[in-house]
A and B are shown apart, each in its own frame.
Chain A
Amino acid sequence: MTTIIVIYSILIVCLVLSLWNSREKTKKSFLIAGKAFMKTAPSLLTILGIVGLILGTLTPETISKLIGAEAGYWATLLAALIGAVTFIPSLVAFPLAGSLLRSGATIMTISAFITTLVMVGLVTVPMEIKSLGKKFTFLRNSFSLIGALIIAVLMGVILK
């Protein structure tokens, strides 16, 4: 909800300023927006379809079962992978991570899950490629995955 309010407030302020200064240019920006939308529409639909499939099968209960009380590096790796493929809003992810922590998952595992969840987006890769190119997308997601594992290990050491 806050997201929608913030984004639309920014948009309204910008639109008013734009219209006030030049109707021509405002029209042009709508044309650019329309074109960009048509270009991204297929990948948006793909994201929707995959998100539905993943979240339909990988429910919070299933995730808890997979990385719940398991300790060790395998759980951390698994958590990182689950975080990378899933697409959960933080309002759901943090309570889930909190309950996993209380049920016995290690700090390292939880950090890996949270960090890959927010930074790596396998589901949104098609859209990222459309906007920023293959190489950028590949590098950003790989480095984020490696970075997440480093963060997880450091978190495990620091917060022991």
Chain B
Amino acid sequence: MTTLKQFRTPILLGIIYLILMVWLPGTAQRTIAVTISYAKEMAIIMPAVFVLMGLIEVWIPGDKIQKWLGASSGVKGVLISFLMGTLPTGPLYVAFPLAASLLKKGASITNTVIFLGSWAALKIPQLLVEIKFLGGTFTIVRFVLTLMVIIVMGIIMNILLKKDLENIQE
């Protein structure tokens, strides 16, 4: 059965949890508490993300995405991807399905990588926390270096994945 096969890893993890409960009840208790708190977060955020993704697929025409974020969108495309990423919208796993829709609709690899990179490392609320605990200089230097690394990464990955992209977008 395909469905059961898909859940192989979660089932395996469940068994590990059971073993842990017998073997190391202390660790198991902490583990289960963490799992529950993350499960709550996911249960609240993920439905909204999937519906948003559905709305993007249905409403935003491919030629628009291609114009804003496609291969010939240039500096404007980079800027839009960067700004979309810095919005306060939650953990990186939320961005994967969204990035996939953008890519399918015609966004370039470079812009998708920049979008994911700024989502991960350059979020505005995250920066405020960083300034508070690690200082302004640290935060600014890390911000600038990370932005440069992300853009270079985007360009390199674009070269390496150009052929695969044609398959996705067709």
Contact = CB atoms under 8 A, between A and B. Distances in A.
Given A37-B50, A118-B120, A119-B117, A49 B141 contact: no
A52 interface: yes
Given A42-B9, A49-B13, A115-B146, A29 B141 contact: no
Nearest to A98: B133
Contact of A40 (B10, B97, B161): B97
A48 B90 contact: no
B135 to A, nearest CB: 9
Interface in B23-55: 27-28, 30-32, 34-35, 38-39, 42, 44-55
Nearest to B164: A135
Given A29-B58, A155-B141, A10 B129 contact: no
Interface string B69-94: 00000000000000000011111111
Interface residues on B, range: 35 or more
Contacts of B27: 56-57
B90 A147 contact: no
A82 B9 CA distance: 22
Interface in A105-128: 107, 110-111, 114-115, 118-119, 121, 124, 126-128
A132 to B, nearest CB: 6
Interface residues of A, number: 75
Interface stretch (A64-72, A73-81, A89-97): A89-97
Contacts of B134: 94, 97-98, 101, 110, 114
Interface string B130-166: 1011100110011001100110110011001100100
Contacts of A47: 93
Given A7-B45, A33-B50, A91-B129, A42 B7 contact: yes
Which 6 pairs from chain A and chain B are nearest by CB? A56-B31, A52-B35, A49-B13, A29-B54, A98-B133, A33-B54
